Amino acid sequence: MKKTVLWSAVLAMFIFGGCSSKEPSIDATDETGSKSAQTTDDTAVVIETVVEEDIVVVDENGVSNIDQDGNERTMGAIERRMKTINFAFDKFVVSGEQVDKMSANSDLANGDAIDFTIKIEGNCDEWGSDEYNFALGLKRANAVKEALVANGVDSARITMVSYGESNPVCTDKTQACWSKNRRVDFSLLP
């Protein structure tokens, strides 16, 4: 009985849904470089003008462009430009080696990422208990937050999370691998 009802519903969708009655659109480019897409029933007209000075890229939300330095300003592109901050074993102080990275991240946060919330993600290597590593990850995230705020980033735009040892980027049992996991990553939220 259920199969009969299901097949009847599917058949009804095909019969009553039918095919679209819209005609295909035709793109035409005139001598000024403008494109227009028109349908034969004149239901939609889209005009796109090519601007030679700026390149404009629009994502699925209609938000984005490329800045004067050629950097894409989408949320994902800005995230990829944010630099990971690494830490020494069992430490949560931003070292002198990481200051340039912090400065670059602060500039991005105050520049291209000004419209986004910054999520700071603290991570640890596998050494220590789960509770200890979650606390250490949060201390690392807080140290990075304080550095961002000291560089002029509004603290209301910053959220923090600790993943402890649960989010490794490397799983080998070597010192080099463990050092990659002692880090703070950045992500952006709308």
Which of 126, 136, 111 lies closest to 173, judged by CA? 126
Task: List the alpha helices (DSSP H) in the chain.
Answer: 2-17, 75-81, 99-110, 130-150, 175-181
Structure-block tokens of residue 50? 């090519």
Long-range Cβ pairs for the range 147-151 (8 Å, 24+): 147/94, 147/102, 147/106, 148/102, 148/105, 148/106, 148/109, 148/118, 148/120, 151/102, 151/103, 151/106, 151/110
Considering the entire predicted model, what is its pTM?
A: 0.62
pLDDT by residue for the chain (190 residues), tens only, comes to 566 655 566 555 555 555 545 444 444 445 545 444 444 444 444 433 333 343 444 555 554 455 555 556 788 899 999 999 999 999 999 988 999 999 999 999 999 999 999 999 999 999 989 999 999 999 999 999 999 999 999 999 999 999 999 999 999 999 999 999 999 999 999 9
- 54 torsion bin: left (phi>0), alpha (psi -120 to 50), beta (else): beta
Architecture category of domain 75-189 in CATH: 2-Layer Sandwich (3.30)
User: DSSP readout, 152-165?
Assistant: T--GGGEEEEEEET
